[in-house]
Structures are given as structure tokens and as C-alpha cells.
Structure 1
Amino acid sequence: MATAMTALSADAGPPNGASTNVTATSQVTGTVLDHPDGAEIRRQVEFYFSDENLPTDKHMLQCCGGRENIPVSVSRICGFQKMRKYKPKSLVSAALRLSAFLEVSADGKTIKRKVPLTGKCILDPDYFDADDDNDIAYAPGSRKAKAQQPAQYPVPLLPQAKIKHPEGVSKNMLKATGFEKAYMEPILTPAEAAEEEEMYSPEKSFVERIEIAIQRFKQKRRMHEMYAHVFNKLMRFGGVESGPRQYQGISKHDMKEMGAEEIARALAIHNVPWDRSDEKRWVVDFVDVCKAFLSSWYPAHYGYASHAIKNACQVPRSFFGYLRFHRVCPEFDDQLAIALQVCDQAERELPKVNSVGLALPGDFNKSASVVFGGAQADIYTGDKSWAEDLKKEGLTVSEIGIRKEEARVKFGTGIAVLGSDAQYDMFESGDLQVLSQETAYLEVTAIQLPDDDTKSAYTEQSKSFKHKLGQLEPLGKLVCKTWYTDDCDEWDLPKDKDKYPNGKPRKAGDGKEYEFWIEEDIIKDCFVGLKMDANIMHLTGGMTILDDIKETMCSFYTWIPNELWMERKPKEVRWLKKGMGFDDDEDEAEIDGSNKESADKIASDDEFDDE
């Protein structure tokens, strides 16, 4: 039998010319493979491609292109409702190879008609034209009468190749998550609305409602890891703790007999500690929590990467929107509306805060700092001996800092264009000196871009130094005033009411204004309300220089004590006398023998602990 089949393959070859395909012929027995239901499979698929069905089957036509006879994916055919029961796919392909009407590709992945369709189909705009001479009038019950005319011509074809996703991204990850900015909550059915009305009844305490809402929100969203991480941090920042589920090992059968509220309680891992139900110990403030989380805590711990900032804004935006839509806490609806605006504002400002922080203080102010011995002085690496040695060894050393000669040119050009004659004369004569230096928090109050005259002047000046310095950037003006952050002053200052009233340092120079000259490409990213922690140099002639920028912050920058419990639960710091520098003998003398043991025990219990 094996010999006879081998001879047949050599002479005539298996159907569809598949003599080299292992799925069509068994290499062990030499017999042609077929699916147990091969006859039914061929009958069904041949019908899909038949002259009876194909001209009016819009989906099939979009796959094969009608008369173009484009190969159709076998996987797509196996996905049809009547074909899903036939498995495995390799045997389905083998069964179709035995068809005299269809042709399967060598790899068994695509299939098409052996003879392309020749007649008209619904892909043709004139198919439904009753006056067509080549078309016989069709009965109301015929397939042509039942066919639906496409809404547009030409009819778009469906892709047959499998969609390729980026590495590490699955099809499931590309589905809507509910965290998209344009996501809309689905409309509730009357039964769901009645259920939620009872679930979030105003008669229940806020703590009870928010705990249910947190779990319900998690059930309604696709909580990918990146969203879950931010959400858990946001909850902890707001005072909501997490722990093991209340009910372990709950089955789906048990959940079918439970209501929505019972399921939420059973699956919940977030809870509000009982002691925070007291309004004096736990203040509900969605606005400040949102501001502090997005402006202070999150950037400090995760940086300003664009995808991280977008993700950090999406999560609270989606959660606050859920609370508003489902009327979880209508008494705080005004706060939630403002918090949603803060999320949008953060998404706009935080990328600019990062770019401005990297670019400031700009070449002009860096040059001034070099000239007058500020923070940028003596950091130029181009003339260092160690850099020269590395270059001789063939290593590439990038230059850091600004040469003094280059700094004088850039600083002098700025004074020549924007400064007064008196200021330029002082610079040329060497009378321009540093009067004072200070550190201050600044808030941008106005931005002035360079005008046409300034741009023209810089263009002329650049022509003189283009071969050395390149194109000099025109300067605009940044107007700022002093600003004070609450920060954590009241938590880390001694309790001295005279020196530190209200637990905070005295504010000197409140509202003092400054004007700085900044390059145009930097000032374009600045915005009114931008906050900065800066070192400032005051020069003779009324000039102020941004010597160094330590940190940049968004316009709604807020700090709240919640940050203290994100890493650890803070304890009050208490200093013992033995740690204050007193003589040990003197301390021992003050403690009599009868009380010495108890005093040592108290001291050991109250030792300084910064954990």
C-alpha cells in the first residue's frame, strides 16, 4: 500500500500541488490526511466561495475582493460560526486541499478559488441596476433581493494579515481600559440605578460609601499594572489603607447569590481605618490631595517622563469622574469638579515644568554666573589637564560649562541689546560688581517675548561671532515675585513661638518683584504661575541674575502632611538630656539611688527615634 501511494504521488501528485506539504500527506504511512469531517468542511467552505453565495456575501467579498480572487486567511474562515467546531486547524487545511474547487497555499494559511469569479457582485455599483441588459429580473425571495447594497463605493477590503502588536503588548492590552481621557461612563439601566441609589444612600457615612465605590471602580476598569500602581499610591496618599481581602476563597457560585454591594465588600482590599471616621482626624479634601499628589509627591518619586505624567493624571481623573457620575458623595461634588480641572492642568503643565527646569537659567544667566564667580564658575572642562590627557588617549570628552571668554561675549551682547548705556559702560569699565546674593522661591507673573528690534539686533550681533559662538538666541523678559511654600516647615522646626510664629519661619520681602533676561526658546515654555527655587545675584546698575535653579514646580504646587506617612508613619521627635551635651556626672548626681532604675527605664523607652 505504501509503495502504491508513493508511485501515485510521483506520477500525479496530491491535490492542489501539495506534494511537499507534510499536513497533506503523512510521512509515516504515506496516506493523504483528511479531517474526520472533511466532507462537511469542504461542502461548507465551497459554499462560501460558490457562485451562488459569493456575489451577495459582503463579508466574503471584502476578504477576497470578488473577481480579484485575493487569498483569504484560513484562520478567518475557521472563525465563522459554522466552522468553529472543526479542529484542529491543520487538519481543516488538509481537508480543504482535497477540494477540486478551492486551492490552499503551500503553508496552509490561505485559501482561494481555483477559477476566479467572473460575474458581477455587490462590489459593482451597477449590480442593483434593474435596467442592466445582462441581468435577469430577480424574484423578491432570491439572494440578490436579500442582499444589502453597500453604503459606499469602492467597498473597503478587510486585511488578511494578522495585526502585529509592539513587543510586550498583547491584543488584550489594547482594549479600552476606562482610563482614557475621552472615556464616558455607560448609561445605567433602571435596575442598576436603583441598586446604586441604595448602595450610595446619603444616610450611610462617607467612609462606608467611599469604600464601596473604590472596589466598584476597580471592577469597572481594566486595572493594568501601571494603572493599579498609581491608584494604590493615590489611595494611600489620601489616607486609604490596603490589606488582605475580607473573605478568602470566595467562589463564583457564592458570588451569584450575592448582591453588588455584598460582592464589593467581599472583594475589597482597600479600607479607611476606623479612627479616621472622626472628622478631626481625617479631613476630606479631594482638591488638596489631588494637587499635592500630582505636583509634589508623584514627580519627586517617579520623575517627569511623558508617559508617567500622562498615566498619573489619567488615574485620578477617571476615579473622580466615577465618583461624580455615580453620585457617591454629592456633598463633595464641587471639590471633585475642581480636582478634575487640576488633573487636566497637571497634564499640560508638568511636561513644561520638566523642560524649563532642564533649560534654565539659560546661556545669558550662566554666562553672568561665570563672569561674576557664581554657581557656574570654574566648571568648564575644555581647559582641564585631565581632559587633555584623555583626549590624547583617543577618548572623546564632551565639554561642560562655558569658557570665560565666551561668557563675556554672551553677557556683554545681552547688555548691549537690552541694557541701558550706563549698564553697558559699567560692564566695559569693569565697574559691574556683585552687590548681594540670595535664595528665594519665585513665581512667574509675566512673560515678555523678544520684540522685532531685539531679534534684529541679535541677528546683527550673531554675524560677528557666528564662526565662534554660532547663532545667539534673542532674550525675552521673565517677571517674577517672591513666593513661599507651606512645605513641611511646621513639622521640622522647633516649637519656639517667638522665633517661629505658628510653627513657620518669618516671611521677609513678601511680594518683592524681579526681572530676568531669558532666551526666547526657553521662555516660550514658561507660563504664568510657574514656581522656582532659585539662587539670585544682584549686580550694580539694578541688574538681577538667575545664578542657579534648584527646582521648578507647577502653578498649583501644594504640600500636605500626607507625604509623611507614604514611606513611614511619623513620630514626634523628642531629645533627651543625655543627647544635649550635658555632663553625664551631673545628670547622675541629680538622680538618687531609689529612682535611678525607673529613670533609666523611662530614658530607654523614650530614646530618639527617627523611624
Structure 2
Amino acid sequence: MSMKKKVISMTKPALLPGKVVDQFKRAPSNAVFSRIQTCIQRYRARRKLDAVRSNIFTKYLILGGIEATGKQFTGGALDEETLEQATAEEIAALQATDYIRSGNTNSKYYDPAKPDGWVVDFEGVAKGFLVPHQLGPETETEIKQCTAVIRNFLNYILQHAVCPEYTLEVMAARRVCDLAEKELWALQLLTPKLPGDFNVAASTICGGHYQGLSLTAEPWQKDDPEIEQFLSINGMDEAQAKSIFRTGIAFAGTDELFTEAMKGEFYIIASNRKYFEIVDIERPSVKLIREYSRAKGHHGELGNIKPLGAIRIKSWEGPGLDEEDASDDENPKTEEARIESFWLEDDILQLLFVGLKLELLVHELNIGIKFFDTVLGTYCSFFTYLENEKMLSWKEPVENTRPPPTEDDPDIEERAMEAIMEGEVNDDEKITSN
């Protein structure tokens, strides 16, 4: 089993009055991981977090390499001898639920090549934690609650000068909290609007995902102000799609492109799943918005075709959430750093931000334009995948005491695993792969 390096989340505060600093110098060791452990235990004891905030904080600690799933002391009340001989700090440490397993006994994260065996990265853990797949927030209030918990903890570190050598990193982590609060909510608002009317129209008439998904409003739905948006993201009829597609090309494309589009002979010639990062956002001008307002829809109505702007994007290596399938001898191909453009409606562009990362299914048409009809993922500008995620469900390997398969009994392993799955074997007898 190769040793993994552990990332702990904390940073560099300016020194505060000596009395405050001294309380952490009196920790069992002045090593940074010891000070961080003491800080976490005191923070948890003094803040009295409710169930929701406690759960957020625990997940954050676990991702940062802290053991936060069980007590070191589980024997009930401390005996009188322990109470008499131990200090209040020592008793609190014994009863704490959060601790750092240090030294080479911590094969889950310990890295002997690093000082104290740890990598301290407050900013990195904040970036890896404050993302949708970790938090799953659905409302702006929930997002603010998540960022507030982490920000409050980081402020506690700075206030008590827990590790002054990491002040700059802690403050960088606080900035991530501020950024996450804005970007996570923008992603929540953005998701139901994508891929936008123009892309849905192109998909509908060119054989993409939305072809044949047209829905019509029921009589009782016609007065619903949100019905048009609902119908558009679930497909549109071909006449509406052609109107939106051709109008978009007329305003945003060249004369040659519009001529080709009017022939009606367009189809997908290539499709690729790609990762992108937004580098520029071009919203339509006020003049262009007025011109769109005078464009007629497929029923002759005015103002129903949304004005288009553009995003400029470059290739991104991806979030790293998938398992690697390349051998050690293979080198991943790096795409050229070229800028591509996609047209999007202005109401979508208002929610986008430079640095936003996207995973898209991109189609190229025979007339030379590209569109996307499937958004496979959206990611914050600061998105960072931590190697710690791979270790969250890792367990210490133990020796397999069961006899191996033999010629006389080749199925012994299969029977043992079946017994484990059916709960017929004690934990001590279970097989654990080395």
C-alpha cells in the first residue's frame, strides 16, 4: 500500500497578544498538526454547533484529513484517578471526536517525505470542499450556511493565532469562501437555463438530443409565467426551432453563413465530449437587443426570440473525478490552447463568469458552426480535486487469515465473500485486501 499525503486545512494569522498565542504553545507539541488538532477540539467544544452545521464541519475536517468519525475515548465517564491526574485540556482531548493520527502509524495519509508527515493547505481544502458534489446545496440560504461555517472556523484560527506561519494561506481560504458563496448560487440559477434556446433549436433541427422532444402547453398551463422556459428546455417544435436558429444566425453570423442556413441543408458532422473554461463573455449591445425585440417569431409574434451574445472558451483538463484508465506508459494528449466561441442568450450570459468550467457534448455542423445540447457538468472557477477524496472510504489493510484457494477447493474465496455479504461471518474473520 503506497503512502498517501494528508492535507490539513489552516493558514497564517498575524500574531495576536502573547496571552492568546501561549495557549497553543502549551499544546502537547508545538508541531503544526498538534496545534491544529487542539484548535479543532476547542472550536468544536466552544461553538456548540447545531446538527446541520456540525455535519458540514465534520465533512470539511474529514476531507482535510482529520479523523472526525469517532471518539478517542469511548469508555463512558472518566475514572476518578484520571480526573485527579489530568488537566482540563487533557480530559477534553481524551473525550474529543476530532483528532489527527500522526506519525507512520497513519498509513492512510502519512507522507514521510514531508515535515511532520503532513501537507498543510488551507486554501486547497476550501477549494476542494466548497463545490456542489461535496455540499449538494439547493438554496441560497444553504450555500451561505456552508460557507459561513468554514469562514467562522478560519476566523477562529486567525483570532487565536493557531499557526501564524500560515496566515496568508488561511486568508486565501477565506477568500474562497466569499467566492464560493457567489458562484455556487450562480450555478444553481444557471443549470435550469442551459443549454439555451439557440442550442436547443439547433439540436432539434439537426438531429441532436432535443430532436423529437417537443412539448406543448396544456390549456391549464398557458397562464403559467414559467411555462415557456419549461417547454424550451424540454424541446420545441421544428417550426419554432427553425425560426430561432435562423434568426440567431442572421444577427450573430455572417452573410455567407445565413445563406447556408436558409438552404436548410445542415446536419451534424462531428460530436465530442469536452471540458472548457470560460475566458471571455460578450453580451449583446443595447442596440442589438432592440433589434431582436423587432424580430418576428414563427407565429409572427414580436419579442419572443432572445438576443444572443457569445462566450469564448478554452480547453480545460477536466475535474479529475473519473478513474484514470491510462497505463503508466501512456501520456495524456493535451489539446492546443485555442479559443472557441459559442452563442448563448443574454439571460444566460448574465449568470456566467470568467473562470466557470463546463463539461459539454459539442456538435459541429456542416455549415461550420458549433453548438452544444448537453451540459454534463458545471464547476466553480476555483474547482480543485483533492487526492484526499480517494481515501475517504479507505480502511487499514489487515492480514487475510483465510486459507487460499487450492486444487481441492478452488471456490473457498467466493464462499467466504458470500458469507460476509450475508452477515454470517464476524468482523474479525472478514477478508480485507492488502
Q: What range describes the TM-score normalised by the shorter chain of this pair?
A: 0.7 to 0.9
Contact 1:199 1:209 in 2 (8 A): no
Determine whether 1:244 maps to 2:71. yes
Per the alignment, residue 366 of structure 2 pairs with 540
Contact 1:422 1:541 in 2 (8 A): no
Structure 2 CA distance for partners of 1:419 and 1:210, relative to 1, 3 Å: same
Secondary structure class of the residue paired with 2:294: helix
Secondary structure class of the residue paired with 2:272: strand
User: When the two structures are aligned, how many residues end up with a matched partner?
Assistant: 381
Contact 2:205 2:211 in 1 (8 A): yes
Provide TM-score, normalisation by structure 2: 0.76
**Alignment equivalent of 1:294, drawn from 121, 130, 136:** 130
| 1:445, distance to aligned residue in structure 2 (A) | 0.4
Counterparts in 2 of 1:31-180, with a 5 A limit? none
| 1:312, distance to aligned residue in structure 2 (A) | 1.5
Q: Which structure has the greater CA radius of gyration?
A: 1
| 1:552, distance to aligned residue in structure 2 (A) | 0.8
| 1:606, distance to aligned residue in structure 2 (A) | 11
Determine whether 1:444 maps to 2:272. no
Contact 1:479 1:514 in 2 (8 A): yes
Structure 2 CA distance for partners of 1:550 and 1:442, relative to 1, 3 Å: same
Q: Aligned partners of 1:476 and 1:596: how far apart in 2? A: 70
Contact 1:479 1:515 in 2 (8 A): yes
| 1:551, distance to aligned residue in structure 2 (A) | 1.3
Determine whether 1:432 maps to 2:266. yes
Determine whether 1:596 maps to 2:407. yes
| 1:417, distance to aligned residue in structure 2 (A) | 1.1
Contact 2:24 2:38 in 1 (8 A): no
Structure 2 CA distance for partners of 1:339 and 1:250, relative to 1, 3 Å: same
Contact 2:205 2:238 in 1 (8 A): yes
Determine whether 1:369 maps to 2:240. no
Structure 2 CA distance for partners of 1:257 and 1:189, relative to 1, 3 Å: farther
Structure 2 CA distance for partners of 1:600 and 1:257, relative to 1, 3 Å: closer
Q: Aligned partners of 1:420 and 1:570: how far apart in 2? A: 63
Contact 1:212 1:264 in 2 (8 A): no
For 1:295, give the aligned amino acid: V
Q: Aligned partners of 1:220 and 1:382: how far apart in 2? A: 57
Determine whether 1:199 maps to 2:10. no
Q: For structure 1, which runs of at least 5 residues remain unmatched after alignment?
A: 1-184, 389-395, 572-590
Q: Aligned partners of 1:540 and 1:497: how far apart in 2? A: 38
Per the alignment, residue 333 of structure 2 pairs with 506
Per the alignment, residue 359 of structure 1 pairs with 193
| 1:263, distance to aligned residue in structure 2 (A) | 4.3
Per the alignment, residue 402 of structure 1 pairs with 236
Q: Aligned partners of 2:262 and 2:200: how far apart in 1? A: 19
Q: Aligned partners of 2:261 and 2:126: how far apart in 1? A: 48
**Alignment equivalent of 1:340, drawn from 170, 174, 178:** 174
Per the alignment, residue 483 of structure 1 pairs with 316
Structure 2 CA distance for partners of 1:329 and 1:344, relative to 1, 3 Å: same
**Alignment equivalent of 2:142, drawn from 308, 327, 339:** 308
Q: Aligned partners of 1:466 and 1:601: how far apart in 2? A: 72
Secondary structure class of the residue paired with 1:550: strand
Contact 2:319 2:383 in 1 (8 A): no
| 1:235, distance to aligned residue in structure 2 (A) | 1.2
| 1:237, distance to aligned residue in structure 2 (A) | 1.2
Q: Aligned partners of 1:418 and 1:188: how far apart in 2? A: 58
Q: Aligned partners of 2:314 and 2:389: how far apart in 1? A: 27
For 1:497, give the aligned amino acid: D
Per the alignment, residue 95 of structure 2 pairs with 267
For 2:310, give the aligned amino acid: K
Q: Deviations over 1:92-117 (max 9, x none)?
A: xxxxxxxxxxxxxxxxxxxxxxxxxx
Q: For structure 2, which runs of at least 5 residues remain unmatched after alignment?
A: 1-12, 220-226, 398-404, 419-430
For 2:25, give the aligned amino acid: E
Q: Aligned partners of 1:251 and 1:424: how far apart in 2? A: 85
Structure 2 CA distance for partners of 1:599 and 1:234, relative to 1, 3 Å: same
Determine whether 1:279 maps to 2:127. no
Q: Aligned partners of 1:273 and 1:346: how far apart in 2? A: 30
Per the alignment, residue 402 of structure 2 pairs with none
Q: Aligned partners of 1:347 and 1:452: how far apart in 2? A: 30
Contact 1:516 1:545 in 2 (8 A): yes
Structure 2 CA distance for partners of 1:558 and 1:193, relative to 1, 3 Å: closer
| 1:405, distance to aligned residue in structure 2 (A) | 0.5
Contact 2:313 2:339 in 1 (8 A): yes
Structure 2 CA distance for partners of 1:610 and 1:307, relative to 1, 3 Å: farther
Q: Which fold has the larger relative contact order, with Cα–Cα distance below 8 Å and residues 6 or more apart in sequence?
A: 2
Structure 2 CA distance for partners of 1:264 and 1:570, relative to 1, 3 Å: closer
Contact 2:239 2:298 in 1 (8 A): no
Per the alignment, residue 323 of structure 1 pairs with 157
Structure 2 CA distance for partners of 1:405 and 1:212, relative to 1, 3 Å: same
Q: CA RMSD in A?
A: 3.7
| 1:506, distance to aligned residue in structure 2 (A) | 2.6
| 1:423, distance to aligned residue in structure 2 (A) | 0.7
| 1:598, distance to aligned residue in structure 2 (A) | 9.3
Q: Aligned partners of 1:340 and 1:270: how far apart in 2? A: 22
| 1:542, distance to aligned residue in structure 2 (A) | 3.0
